[in-house]
Structure 1
Amino acid sequence: MILFLIPILIFGIIILFSGIFTVKQQTAAIVERFGKFQSIRNSGLHFKIPIFDRIAGRINLKIQQLDVLVETKTKDDVFVKLKISVQFQVIKSRVYDAFYKLENPQDQITSYVFDVVRAEVPKMKLDDVFERKDDIAIAVKSELNEAMSDYGYDIIKTLVTDIDPDVQVKAAMNRINASEREKVAAEYEAEAERIKIVAKARAEAESKRLQGQGIADQRREIARGLEESVDVLNNVGINSQEASALIVVTQHYDTLQSIGEETNSNLILLPNSPQAGSDMLNNMIASFTASNQIGEQMKLANAKKGIVNKSKSGDRDSENDK
């Protein structure tokens, strides 16, 4: 009798323990009785009627990600591959719909992604696809939310994580980019060269201006020195003409001395007789005298011309009065 009860006791213990089960965190278990939905069990320790109840399935309540690779054509006839990452989650209050209404949610989401991407991308050129990838992601999310909410799924986020054109197109884009950068570099180099030329021209102009100013100051100081020398000689009884002759002769011999001291200079022939300075002075005085005479004659001619013009204008005025 005891031997007969032991198998029954063991069987009863097995049956009892088969009615105990646990559900993990962020997971929901679907319990059916005789193939019919019975209840949804959340995380924790649970009991079910052995033999009559069974766990039909478990649903993950965590946020999941599905990567979909879509190949399509742009408006400018370029084939491109887009990688769309869809983050979705089962709505806790609609676990029944998520389990019973949809057999394979990943396939369903993939179909909608293909449909939206192949409807949106052919409207754009390749450059626009890169610039407006967020618009594509928003369109996919909107379409998926509208479709998947009926099945108990919430679309958290959609991302366009990769845009991969054809290899030849990529190479052409790289060449265009390189050409654009070379063009910009050439423009900057030309601008830098222009700035150098302008700066050099301004520096040369400033140098010439300062050089001219220096020469003018030098000549002004020379003239002032000559004037002071003449005044000194006049004070000791030497008249202006004699003083000028003495200064010219002195400058003449100073010039000869400085040329002689310069060993690397070329040979220059200059008059070096005592009469040379006097001749130079006489020539200068004759030139100044002739210049003054010409200037006086021009003044007289202009004065006569002015008198004639006044008389003519007076005659016209008298005729007008008549």
Structure 2
Amino acid sequence: MSITSIIFLVFALFVFLSSFFTVKQQTAVIIERFGKFLSVRNSGLQLKIPIIDRIAGRVNLKIQQLDVIIETKTKDNVFVKMKVSVQFKVIQDKVYDAFYKLEYPHDQITAYVFDVVRAEVPKLKLDDVFERKDDIAIAVKRELNEAMMTYGYDIINTLVTDIDPDLQVKNAMNRINAADREKTAAEFEAESSRIRIVAKAKAEAESKRLQGQGIADQRREIARGLVESVEVLNNVGINSQEASALIVVTQHYDTLQAIGADTNSNLILLPNSPQAGSDMLNNMVASFSASNQVGEMMKKNTPVLKKQKPESRFRDAPENPENPDITV
């Protein structure tokens, strides 16, 4: 076999193999014939005429995402950086428009995003930008859909994924938030303290009331016991003064016994002696007797005053018949 034949066979094999090509899933291939659009080939094994037909390009039909970072100013003159994520794809029926009408789709989408964001954000204050970021995303999607549909692109979704104010503004916002939270915490702590104070005051008031009631009951029972003791002593021939003195002396010794029962007590009674009780009893009996004698003497020396009718200045003057209070 000659060299020419070998070259011819190799060339024929090359032409045969170049007639077939494959297209991946979610991809479209543009076929041109002598530089002119011929057809769009979808996924699978495809055939073309070698040398005459060529693959002009491949179009991705998957959903793609483009992240656009924009710096703009709010209504209250705060500069913020916003990150807008645009999810888009090529419409399968408009692969021709997507391939031939638009050369740089990413640049086109970025330009529209810049235009919409810089038109919407300056209308809002910084706080409103955070609260209404979804409205900004919807506005971007609406404008992009109207513009990119002509070029065979479908905007699936737009998301404002990040809002980054200036560092000083961010620190000021954090300080305001911290101060607001501290204010709320102080209000709760004050309310908690007030509740504790009110509850403590109510408890103390109730304790004092019960304590007073207990003391009153105690004194009432002591008085009742003293009355009964005096009556018992009177029945055995001891008068009330002597009975009262005896009861006081008894309470004195009870007090001494209670003090002596406490081993940790440092209380000292001065003056104090073994005959202190008898001295107290004698002194009290003598005092009661002297008091009774003084009382009897005061009753004897007190004159009895009788109420006399005042004499009239004019004894013999007749009364006025018209007015008995006036004498003539």
Q: TM-score, normalised by structure 1?
A: 0.79
Quote how far apart the aligned CAs of 1:274 are.
2.1
Structure 2: runs of 5+ lacking an equivalent: 294-328
Partner of 2:251 in structure 1?
251
- State the SS of the aligned residue for 1:49: coil
Partner of 1:319 in structure 2?
none
Larger radius of gyration: 2
- Is contact 2:242-2:285 (8 Å) kept? no
- Is contact 1:22-1:46 (8 Å) kept? yes
Structure 1: runs of 5+ lacking an equivalent: 287-322
- Is contact 2:66-2:87 (8 Å) kept? yes
Partner of 2:285 in structure 1?
278
1:18 to 2:21 alignment: no
- Is contact 2:241-2:285 (8 Å) kept? no
Cα distance in 1 for partners of 2:118, 2:280 equals: 108
Pick which of 118-127 and 256-265 moved more: 256-265
- Is contact 2:32-2:55 (8 Å) kept? yes
Pick which of 82-91 and 3-12 moved more: 3-12
Quote how far apart the aligned CAs of 1:231 are.
4.4
- State the SS of the aligned residue for 1:273: helix
Cα distance in 2 for partners of 1:175, 1:93 equals: 54
Pick which of 50-59 and 248-257 moved more: 248-257
1:155 to 2:142 alignment: no
Q: Deviations over 1:136-189 (max 9, x none)?
A: 111111111121111111111111111111122112222222222222233233
Partner of 1:207 in structure 2?
207
- Is contact 2:245-2:284 (8 Å) kept? yes
Pick which of 113-122 and 131-140 moved more: 131-140
Paired residue total: 286
Cα distance in 1 for partners of 2:10, 2:106 equals: 44
Spell out the pairing of 1:80-119 with structure 2 (5 A cutoff): 80-119=80-119
Q: Deviations over 1:275-297 (max 9, x none)?
A: 333367679999xxxxxxxxxxx
Higher-helix-fraction structure? 1
Distance change in 2, residues 1:255/1:13 (3 Å): closer
- Is contact 1:90-1:153 (8 Å) kept? yes
- State the SS of the aligned residue for 1:76: coil
Cα distance in 1 for partners of 2:291, 2:144 equals: 107
Q: Deviations over 1:29-59 (max 9, x none)?
A: 0111122211111111100011111111110
Partner of 2:70 in structure 1?
70
Identical amino acids, percent of aligned pairs: 73
Quote how far apart the aligned CAs of 1:230 are.
3.6
Distance change in 2, residues 1:13/1:261 (3 Å): closer
Quote how far apart the aligned CAs of 1:251 are.
2.7
- Is contact 1:32-1:56 (8 Å) kept? yes
- Is contact 1:88-1:155 (8 Å) kept? yes
Q: Deviations over 1:58-88 (max 9, x none)?
A: 1001110000000000000011100001111
Partner of 1:125 in structure 2?
125
Partner of 1:197 in structure 2?
197
Q: Deviations over 1:203-222 (max 9, x none)?
A: 32222122212212211221
- Is contact 1:248-1:277 (8 Å) kept? no
Cα distance in 2 for partners of 1:216, 1:65 equals: 88
Distance change in 2, residues 1:128/1:152 (3 Å): same
**One-letter identity of the residue aligned with 2:41:** R
Cα distance in 1 for partners of 2:94, 2:258 equals: 113
- State the SS of the aligned residue for 2:103: coil
